[in-house]
Amino acid sequence: MNIKAICTDIDGTLLNRDRQISDRTIQAFKSLPAGFPVILASSRMPSAMWHLLEDLGRNGNSLVCYNGGYVIGPVNGSGQEDILDSTTISPDICGSIVSLAAGSNVHISLYTADEWYAPRMDSWTEREERITKVAAFIQPNTKVLTSWKEKKKGAHKVMCMGDTDEIDNLYNALQGELSDRLHLYRSRDTYIEIAPRQISKASGLALILERKYGIGMDEVIAFGDNYNDVELLRQVGMGVAVANAREEVKAVAKEITGKSTEDGVAITIEKYLL
């Protein structure tokens, strides 16, 4: 197989137990030819991804942000981002999500483009800031959504965080009310990540390849570990699951590599591309 690009998930796939990219993985990516496209695909916002491309020696390469809701092509010579696609959740639907969580202690963060709005500085905000290296704007959900209605903006992602029981209850309520319009993704027992129904990492990658590289999906090797990686691994030429991936991801992968904490991505790059 002629592999012409790499697409990889971040959390649980690319990062080690310290949520960093290991020296071995950095060296593997830096050993690739200078023009070899490396595309990060994540539920993260752009600011939580750019610094990782820099670590890999791939400054300005393409990003599939918010699980495909915000797609950025390679940065041009003037340093301007090229937004290829932007799909959002309307403020009204965001308001419905907030209403369904009313009376609970669930934390709801709202994301649009490269902005993150958290309702308060609590343990959930502090944790996300520490993991992503991005600072939140602290503002009540209702105030953010009122502003977005006026500016005709929407959410690229809604993140719900809380105790397992409350997150279970909210997830069930969302499934009953809004599952026909939203992707509801349980990245962990205490999280629900919400995105527009019509997008995916696979759709974002396909757009980048077609518009910017002239590369087919069958010429890409992709790495992942969780439910939002299933379509990505299914549609590329070589989908690789890390050993710590969910069984549903392993089931569609063409190969299983080492754990994310044991340089699984680097092992496969060294095997097939170096």
Write out pLDDT tens, residues 148-170: 999 999 999 999 999 999 999 99
Local confidence band at 9 (pLDDT 50, 70, 90 cut-offs): very high
Instruction: Output the CA torsion 91→97→101→106 (10° steps).
Output: -80
pTM: 0.95
Domain with CATH 3.40.50.1000 in the chain: 5-86+199-272
What is the C-alpha separation between 119 and 128, in angstroms, rounded? 13
Contact indicator for 187, 193 with CB cutoff of 8 Å: yes
What is the C-alpha separation between 242 and 264, in angstroms, rounded? 6
pLDDT higher than 90, residue 123: yes
pLDDT higher than 90, residue 83: yes
Tokens (6 digits) for 249: 């991801």
Local confidence band at 78 (pLDDT 50, 70, 90 cut-offs): low
**Helix axes of 164-178 and 91-100: crossing angle, nearest 10 degrees:** 130
Does an H or E element contain 29, and which? helix 23-30
pLDDT higher than 90, residue 77: no
Q: Which of 38, 30, 32 is nearest to 63 (CA)?
A: 38
Tokens (6 digits) for 13: 């796939």
SS3 112: strand
105 Cβ contact partners less than 8 Å away, ≥ 6 residues apart:
162, 163, 166
pLDDT higher than 80, residue 1: no
- The third-level CATH classification (topology) of the domain covering 5-86+199-272 is Rossmann fold (3.40.50)
Give the lowest-confidence range in 70-79, 195-204, 248-257. 70-79
Query: If one looks up domain 91-196 in CATH, what number appears?
Result: 3.30.1240.10
Q: Tell me the average pLDDT across 98-111.
A: 97
Q: Which of 62, 84, 87, 85 is nearest to 75 (CA)?
A: 62
Does an H or E element contain 218, and which? none
Domain with CATH 3.30.1240.10 in the chain: 91-196
Residue 11 corresponds to which amino acid? D
Q: Which of 5, 15, 77 is nearest to 244 (CA)?
A: 15
Give the lowest-confidence range in 78-87, 196-205, 260-269. 78-87
